[in-house]
Structure 1
Amino acid sequence: MKKNLLGALVIFFVTVAFLLMLDDMRSSKNSQLNESVDIYNATEQPNMATTDTDAE
Protein backbone atom coordinates (compact mmCIF):
# COMPACT_ATOMS: atom_id res chain seq x y z
CA MET A 1 0.00 0.00 0.00
CA LYS A 2 2.80 2.39 0.93
CA LYS A 3 4.67 1.70 -2.35
CA ASN A 4 1.52 2.33 -4.40
CA LEU A 5 0.95 5.66 -2.69
CA LEU A 6 4.58 6.68 -3.18
CA GLY A 7 4.45 5.69 -6.85
CA ALA A 8 1.24 7.65 -7.38
CA LEU A 9 2.78 10.75 -5.74
CA VAL A 10 5.87 10.49 -7.95
CA ILE A 11 3.76 10.18 -11.10
CA PHE A 12 1.58 13.10 -9.98
CA PHE A 13 4.51 15.45 -9.30
CA VAL A 14 6.33 14.49 -12.51
CA THR A 15 3.15 15.19 -14.47
CA VAL A 16 2.68 18.57 -12.77
CA ALA A 17 6.32 19.49 -13.46
CA PHE A 18 5.93 18.49 -17.13
CA LEU A 19 2.76 20.55 -17.54
CA LEU A 20 4.38 23.58 -15.88
CA MET A 21 7.37 23.24 -18.20
CA LEU A 22 5.08 23.15 -21.25
CA ASP A 23 3.18 26.20 -20.02
CA ASP A 24 6.43 28.11 -19.45
CA MET A 25 7.69 27.26 -22.94
CA ARG A 26 4.41 28.35 -24.50
CA SER A 27 4.34 31.66 -22.61
CA SER A 28 7.98 32.43 -23.47
CA LYS A 29 7.22 32.02 -27.20
CA ASN A 30 4.34 34.49 -26.92
CA SER A 31 6.44 37.06 -25.05
CA GLN A 32 9.12 37.03 -27.75
CA LEU A 33 6.59 38.20 -30.32
CA ASN A 34 5.85 41.37 -28.35
CA GLU A 35 9.45 42.62 -28.19
CA SER A 36 10.37 45.73 -30.11
CA VAL A 37 13.60 46.31 -31.98
CA ASP A 38 15.21 49.69 -32.57
CA ILE A 39 16.70 50.07 -36.03
CA TYR A 40 19.30 52.77 -36.67
CA ASN A 41 20.62 54.14 -39.94
CA ALA A 42 24.35 53.84 -40.63
CA THR A 43 24.91 57.51 -39.78
CA GLU A 44 22.89 57.45 -36.53
CA GLN A 45 24.34 56.39 -33.22
CA PRO A 46 22.28 54.75 -30.49
CA ASN A 47 22.31 56.13 -26.94
CA MET A 48 24.54 53.40 -25.59
CA ALA A 49 28.25 52.97 -25.09
CA THR A 50 30.15 49.98 -26.41
CA THR A 51 33.47 48.85 -25.09
CA ASP A 52 36.17 46.98 -26.95
CA THR A 53 37.15 43.89 -24.98
CA ASP A 54 39.90 42.65 -27.31
CA ALA A 55 43.13 42.41 -25.36
CA GLU A 56 46.23 42.35 -27.47
Structure 2
Amino acid sequence: MKKNILGALVILFVTVALFLMMDDISKSKNPEPQINKVEVKDPDAQQDLATTDSEEES
Protein backbone atom coordinates (compact mmCIF):
# COMPACT_ATOMS: atom_id res chain seq x y z
CA MET A 1 0.00 0.00 0.00
CA LYS A 2 2.91 2.33 0.72
CA LYS A 3 4.20 1.86 -2.85
CA ASN A 4 0.79 2.76 -4.25
CA ILE A 5 0.69 6.03 -2.31
CA LEU A 6 4.24 6.95 -3.37
CA GLY A 7 3.42 6.12 -6.99
CA ALA A 8 0.31 8.27 -6.85
CA LEU A 9 2.29 11.18 -5.37
CA VAL A 10 4.92 10.91 -8.10
CA ILE A 11 2.26 10.91 -10.82
CA LEU A 12 0.55 13.88 -9.16
CA PHE A 13 3.76 15.94 -8.97
CA VAL A 14 4.73 15.11 -12.56
CA THR A 15 1.27 16.11 -13.76
CA VAL A 16 1.36 19.40 -11.87
CA ALA A 17 4.85 20.12 -13.24
CA LEU A 18 3.71 19.46 -16.80
CA PHE A 19 0.70 21.75 -16.40
CA LEU A 20 2.90 24.51 -14.99
CA MET A 21 5.33 24.14 -17.90
CA MET A 22 2.50 24.28 -20.45
CA ASP A 23 1.09 27.39 -18.77
CA ASP A 24 4.50 29.08 -18.76
CA ILE A 25 5.13 28.26 -22.43
CA SER A 26 1.72 29.52 -23.52
CA LYS A 27 2.12 32.84 -21.67
CA SER A 28 5.69 33.50 -22.80
CA LYS A 29 4.72 34.32 -26.40
CA ASN A 30 5.30 38.03 -26.85
CA PRO A 31 3.62 39.51 -29.96
CA GLU A 32 5.81 42.63 -29.85
CA PRO A 33 9.30 42.19 -31.28
CA GLN A 34 12.12 42.94 -28.90
CA ILE A 35 14.55 45.60 -30.06
CA ASN A 36 18.15 44.98 -29.04
CA LYS A 37 20.43 47.98 -29.05
CA VAL A 38 24.01 47.27 -30.10
CA GLU A 39 26.69 49.85 -29.55
CA VAL A 40 29.78 49.62 -31.76
CA LYS A 41 32.90 51.41 -30.59
CA ASP A 42 35.92 52.42 -32.62
CA PRO A 43 38.55 49.72 -32.04
CA ASP A 44 41.35 52.33 -31.99
CA ALA A 45 39.66 54.17 -29.13
CA GLN A 46 39.52 51.10 -26.89
CA GLN A 47 42.20 50.51 -24.32
CA ASP A 48 44.20 47.32 -24.26
CA LEU A 49 42.48 44.69 -22.19
CA ALA A 50 45.64 42.85 -21.22
CA THR A 51 49.27 43.83 -20.94
CA THR A 52 52.37 41.74 -20.48
CA ASP A 53 55.21 42.65 -18.20
CA SER A 54 58.31 41.45 -19.98
CA GLU A 55 61.75 42.96 -20.02
CA GLU A 56 63.18 43.64 -23.44
CA GLU A 57 66.78 42.63 -24.06
CA SER A 58 69.02 45.31 -25.61
- What TM-score, normalized to structure 1? 0.59
The equivalent residue for 2:39 is: 50
Residue 37 of structure 1: CA displacement? 5.7
Q: Alignment partner of 2:28: what SS?
A: helix
Bigger Cα Rg? 2
Q: Among the aligned pairs, what percent are the same residue?
A: 54
The equivalent residue for 1:3 is: 3
Question: Which is richer in helix?
Answer: 1
The equivalent residue for 2:22 is: 22
Provide structure 2 residue ranges, at least 5 long, that are not aligned to the other structure.
Answer: 44-58
Greater RCO structure (CA 8 Å; 6+ sep): 1
Q: Alignment partner of 1:50: what SS?
A: coil
Provide structure 1 residue ranges, at least 5 long, that are not aligned to the other structure.
Answer: 39-47
